[in-house]
């Protein structure tokens, strides 16, 4: 039978309907699928030894002849042993197999086999337990670098390895080459056939590295081509020309902007006056002063008579932004309004009417800003704070929905609702996103691959780094003493408890913690027993917006000494008088999240502290937390976080809107990512729509990879 990549696995001997079903669970239906099912690791089974020379500390291959019929014994119910005696030139080995009765029929006296396993030795007696074996001369599972595949119940590695071997031996001819020859040669990448063969059955680890490098490059190249296309299309998009002078704006600020803030404002100013649609990310560590930069954008929009929408991830933050923006911009005549779920009824109606009439210049809110019924008079700029909650897909949808006045087909609408431009609005709004989460550069290149980036790499003057301590339960009383001392000096204190209930909101999906009852009880205990003399408030995500606002206002206004909260204070909250951040169950948070929380203090002139409380005995958990004590550099922490938890967990369970990668490793393949990205941008610059015949296949791959976001690539 001639095998092709389309051959169903169930056509192969040894794969019946039952195994076929299990293989499908792994996403494997055809031999072509099997080619793409990559090993997760390899076992070096190349070393051959005689029994006498066999190392004691690692497995090796031993060639020996079975010298007696295998014998089976039943030790007890559920435990049987097959024992075999085998000999090589100079020694005798006794081999035991547990619960593998069939081996009695397989191993035949007088025949030579290769056994792969660790040889144990007692004097002149050799033994092996459960070795891998095959007939001498067969070379399928011994004497080679053995691929080890991701498996599922009922599918053995040997079965899969057998299938990939068939696929590699018979289906590589005519395998289409995705990478254009020029790219392949310029970046010294092997051909696709060679890569596929050697990723499954490498002749050496060197060849494996060559194969892997190509496959990683290919994957990243396809992805970055897609991103480059996105960017390229946006750049061609027309944008309203908006003129605004950063120097003139700076006069409105109560402080002199840092050089980094100035640069970011210059970048934005240049984008806005370019005539093209802006798609810019402003990235800066917590406290670096991104709000002022956002305000510059809003101010510029107002100067030019167009509206600005500022979107925050939580209501709390939206409320705070509205206050800050109003204080800053109202004196310059900018009309600021706040739209959250708390705005209802007549009040909301009036607000929406004012918005549609163009009587509001800056509307601050949550994603409610783009819900049904919210109509702008003339929306020119959208600013999103905390970018990682605002992925590529949403940005693309926003730009599209804002564009050209024709509503998108129903099938393409997403959860967030529509952003319908006023009739006749000729251009999509400019987009500015602000990220307080320092993203490792690798991830930044992927996630922001379609954006221009300004980095604020400088903190406002006069900040002293926050001292961070890790304490166990045994230090709780001392910690309470420290809280009291800070309060006595007039400072304010945050105590953050991870809460399970708020997982639904997705902010901290991977950080389970106390239930709300426990948090409430803890707050009561602090108020009544531990700090009866202090003013203790509690805020959590399940509070009514009005109540939440009241507690936050009390804390901001200095009417509370201690604020117990679930993670709703995570981002953005700005109380310069707060000098101590206590985080309970700290081990439940990611490092970047902890760093964010820590950024809530150290914002004023007071020496500030962060105390991480953990009862965890786990050495790795403590190592992680110590990394946070050791540095205040958000980027370094982010890199460490990525290394420890992998990109999947980096942002929590929430999707960042980009495809899953199969071969590439964000932490390890950074250099290659840069190379692939440069190559992709060059190629897309020459052939933006990938129309050339040499790019036909690449175009298909790009589409396939972005299948979940297929609407991005029409």
- Select 505 or 604, whichever has its Cβ closest to ligand ADP: 604
CB of 467 to ligand ADP, least distance (A): 19
- Tell me: does residue 286 bind ligand ADP (CB under 6 A): yes
Give the nearer residue to Mg ion in terms of CB position, either 15 or 325.
Answer: 325
287 binds ligand ADP (CB under 6 A): yes
In whole angstroms, how close is the CB of 455 to Mg ion at the nearest point?
15
Q: Which is nearer to ligand ADP, 323 or 367 (CB)?
A: 323
- Told to check if 569 binds ligand ADP by CB under 6 A, we report no
Decide whether 61 or 292 has the Cβ nearer to ligand ADP. Answer: 292
Residues 578, 582, 586, 591, CA torsion sign: positive
Site for ligand ADP in 674-713 (CB under 6 A): none
Nearest residue (CB) to ligand ADP, 258 versus 425 = 258
Which residue, 70 or 599, has its beta carbon nearer to Mg ion?
599
Between 32 and 460, name the residue whose CB sits nearer to ligand ADP.
460
Which of 316/562 has CB closer to Mg ion? 316
Which residue carries 């310029």 as its tokens?
A: 186
Total Cβ atoms within 10 A of residue 708: 13
Does 287 engage in binding with Mg ion (CB under 5 A)? no
**65 HSE (CA, 13 A, CB side):** 7
Asked if 313 interacts with ligand ADP (CB under 6 A), we say no
Would you say 498 or 572 has its CB closer to Mg ion? 572
Q: In this chain, which of 389, 603, 624, 699 binds ligand ADP, going by CB under 6 A?
A: 603
Residue 629 near residue 468 (C-beta atoms within 8 A):
yes
Element (H, E) at 540: none
* 506 binds ligand ADP, rule: CB under 6 A: no
* Contact of 64 with 86, CB cutoff 8 Å: yes
Select from 59, 143, 226, 284 the one that contacts ligand ADP (CB under 6 A): 284
- Across 532-571, the runs of DSSP E, i.e. the strands, are 536-539, 562-565
- Out of 63, 141, 198, 258, the only residue in the binding site for ligand ADP (CB under 6 A) is 258
Contact 312, 363 (CB under 8 A): no
Task: Give how far Cα 315 sits from Cα of 183, 293, 543, Å.
Answer: 48, 21, 12
To ligand ADP, the closest distance from the beta carbon of 492 in angstroms equals: 14
Alpha-carbon distance of 424 to 370, in angstroms, equals 19
- Segment lying near Mg ion (by CB under 5 A), choices 181-189, 453-461, 512-520, 564-572: 564-572
> Is residue 574 at the binding interface for ligand ADP, with CB under 6 A as the rule?
yes
Short-list 585, 573, 210, 211, CA closest to 386? 573
Tokens of 245: 């002078």
Mark 448-487 with x for binding to Mg ion (rule: CB under 5 A) and - for no binding.
Answer: ----------------------------------------
Give the span between the Cα atoms of 44 and 127, in whole angstroms. Answer: 21
Which residue's beta carbon is nearest to the bound Mg ion?
572
Q: How far is CA 273 from CA 237, 270, 301, 303, 402, in A?
A: 14, 5, 11, 13, 19
Angle at 486 between CA 485 and CA 489, to 5 degrees: 90
Shortest distance, CB of residue 298 to ligand ADP, whole angstroms?
13
Of 162, 289, 572, 590, the one binding Mg ion by CB under 5 A: 572
634 scored as a contact of ligand ADP (CB under 6 A): no
Q: Output the residue with the shortest Cβ distance to ligand ADP.
A: 289
Q: Give the span between the Cα atoms of 501 and 521, in whole angstroms.
A: 15
- Residues in contact with ligand ADP, shown as a per-residue x/- string from 337 to 376 under the rule CB under 6 A: ----------------------------------------
- Give the interface size with ligand ADP as a residue count (CB under 6 A): 18
- Binding ligand ADP by CB under 6 A: which of 8, 255, 330, 629? 255
By CB under 6 A, tell whether 289 contacts ligand ADP: yes
Residue 574 beta carbon to Mg ion: minimum distance, rounded to whole angstroms: 8
Q: Are 70 and 105 in contact (CB under 8 A)?
A: no
The count of C-alpha atoms lying within 13 angstroms of the C-alpha of 60, restricted to the half-sphere facing its C-beta, is 17
288 is an interface residue for ligand ADP by CB under 6 A: yes
Tell me the two tokens of residue 214.
């190509």
Q: Are 41 and 16 in contact (CB under 8 A)?
A: no
Which of the 8 DSSP states describes residue 103? H
Smallest distance, ligand ADP to C-beta of residue 541, A: 21
Rounded to whole angstroms, how far apart are CA atoms 558 and 172? 71
Q: Do the beta carbons of residue 272 and residue 432 sit within 8 Å?
A: no
Nearer to ligand ADP, 162 or 287 (CB): 287
| Segment lying near Mg ion (by CB under 5 A), choices 190-198, 267-275, 565-573, 702-710 | 565-573
Beta bridge partners of 453: 281
CB 512 within 8 A of CB 536: no
The distance in angstroms from the start CA to the end CA of the chain is 40
> Is 262 one of the binding residues for ligand ADP (CB under 6 A)?
no
Judged by CB under 5 A, the number of residues near Mg ion is 1
Candidates 32, 237, 460, 688; binder of ligand ADP (CB under 6 A) is 460
Taken in order 591, 596, 597, 598, the sign of the CA dihedral is: positive
Chosen from Mg ion, ligand ADP, none, partner binding at 574 (C-beta under 5 to 8 Å by type): ligand ADP
Any contact of residue 162 with Mg ion (CB under 5 A)? no
What is the closest distance, in whole angstroms, from the C-beta atom of residue 708 to ligand ADP in the complex?
A: 31
Can you give 243-273 as a three-state secondary structure string? Answer: CCCHHHHHCCCCCCCCHHHHHHHHHHHHHHH
Candidate residues 63, 279, 291, 596; the one interacting with ligand ADP per rule CB under 6 A: 291
Asked if 261 touches ligand ADP (CB under 6 A), the answer is yes
For ligand ADP, the closer of residues 233 and 321 by Cβ is 321
Which residue's CB is nearer to Mg ion, number 296 or number 666?
A: 296
Beta bridge partners of 48: 61
Length of the chain in terms of residues written: 714
Alpha-carbon gap, residue 152 to 453, rounded angstroms? 43
Half-sphere exposure in the Cβ direction for 33 (13 Å, CA): 15
Binding residues vs Mg ion (CB under 5 A): 572
Which residues would be at the binding site for ligand ADP (CB under 6 A)? 255, 257-258, 261, 284, 286-292, 436, 460, 572, 574, 576, 603
């Amino acid at each position: 039978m001639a095998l092709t990549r389309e051959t169903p696995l169930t056509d192969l001997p040894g794969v019946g309907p039952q195994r076929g079903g299990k293989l499908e669970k792994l996403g494997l239906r055809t031999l072509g699928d099997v080619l793409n099912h990559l090993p997760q690791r390899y076992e070096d089974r190349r070393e051959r030894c005689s029994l006498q020379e066999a190392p004691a500390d690692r497995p090796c291959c031993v060639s020996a002849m079975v010298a007696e019929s295998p014998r089976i014994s039943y030790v007890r119910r559920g435990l049987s042993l097959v024992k075999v005696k085998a000999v090589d030139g100079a020694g005798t080995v006794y081999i035991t197999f547990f619960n593998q009765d069939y081996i009695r029929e397989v191993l035949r006296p007088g025949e030579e086999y290769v056994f792969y396993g660790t040889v144990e030795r007692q004097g002149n007696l050799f033994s092996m337990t459960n070795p891998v074996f095959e007939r001498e001369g067969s070379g399928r599972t011994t004497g080679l670098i053995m691929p080890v595949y991701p498996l599922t119940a009922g599918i053995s590695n040997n079965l899969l390895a057998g299938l990939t071997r068939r696929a590699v031996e018979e289906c590589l001819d005519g395998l289409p080459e995705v990478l254009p020859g020029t790219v392949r040669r310029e970046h010294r990448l092997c051909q696709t056939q060679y890569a596929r063969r050697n990723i499954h059955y490498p002749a050496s680890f060197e060849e494996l590295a060559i194969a892997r490098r190509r496959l990683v490059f290919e994957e990243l190249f396809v992805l970055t081509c897609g991103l480059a296309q996105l960017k390229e299309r946006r750049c061609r998009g027309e944008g309203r020309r908006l003129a605004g002078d950063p120097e003139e704006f700076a006069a409105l600020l109560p402080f002199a902007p840092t050089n980094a803030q100035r640069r970011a404002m210059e970048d934005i100013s240049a984008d806005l006056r370019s005539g093209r649609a802006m798609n810019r990310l402003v990235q800066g560590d917590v406290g670096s002063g991104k709000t002022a930069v956002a305000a510059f954008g809003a101010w510029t929009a107002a100067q030019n008579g167009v509206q600005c929408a500022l979107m925050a991830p939580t209501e709390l933050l939206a409320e705070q932004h509205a206050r800050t923006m109003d204080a800053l911009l109202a004196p310059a005549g900018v009309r600021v309004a706040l739209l959250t779920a708390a705005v209802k009824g007549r009040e909301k109606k009036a607000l929406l009417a004012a918005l549609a009439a163009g009587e509001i210049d800056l509307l601050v809110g949550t994603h409610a800003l783009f819900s049904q019924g919210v109509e702008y008079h003339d929306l020119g700029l959208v600013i999103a704070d905390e970018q990682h909650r605002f992925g590529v897909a949403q940005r693309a949808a926003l730009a599209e929905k804002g564009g050209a006045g024709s509503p998108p087909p129903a099938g393409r609408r997403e959860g967030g609702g529509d952003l319908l431009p006023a009739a006749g609005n000729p251009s999509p709004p400019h987009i500015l996103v602000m990220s307080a989460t320092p993203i490792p550069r690798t991830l930044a290149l992927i996630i922001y691959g379609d954006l221009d980036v300004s980095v604020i790499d400088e903190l406002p003057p006069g900040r002293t780094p926050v001292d961070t301590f890790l304490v166990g339960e045994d230090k709780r009383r001392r910690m309470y003493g420290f809280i009291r001392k800070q309060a006595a000096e007039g400072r304010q204190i945050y105590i953050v408890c991870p809460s399970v209930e708020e997982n639904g909101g997705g902010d901290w999906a991977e950080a389970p913690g106390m239930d709300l009852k426990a948090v409430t009880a803890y707050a009561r205990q602090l108020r009544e027993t531990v700090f009866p003399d202090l003013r203790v408030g509690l805020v959590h995500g399940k509070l009514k917006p009005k109540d939440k606002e009241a507690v936050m206002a009390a804390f901001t206004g200095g009417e509370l000494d201690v604020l117990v909260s679930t993670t709703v204070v995570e981002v953005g909250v700005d109380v310069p008088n707060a000098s101590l951040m206590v985080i309970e169950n700290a081990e439940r948070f990611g490092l970047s999240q902890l760093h964010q929380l820590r950024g809530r203090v150290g914002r004023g002139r007071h020496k500030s502290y962060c105390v991480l409380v953990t009862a965890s005995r786990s050495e790795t958990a403590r190592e992680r937390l110590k990394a946070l004590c050791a540095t205040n550099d958000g980027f370094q922490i982010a890199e460490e976080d990525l290394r420890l938890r992998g990109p999947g967990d980096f942002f929590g369970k929430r999707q960042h809107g980009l495809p899953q990668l199969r071969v590439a490793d964000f932490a390890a393949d950074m250099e290659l990512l840069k190379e692939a990205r440069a190559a992709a941008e060059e190629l897309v610059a020459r052939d933006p729509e990938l129309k050339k015949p040499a790019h036909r296949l690449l175009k298909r791959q790009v589409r396939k990879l972005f299948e979940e976001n297929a609407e991005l690539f029409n």
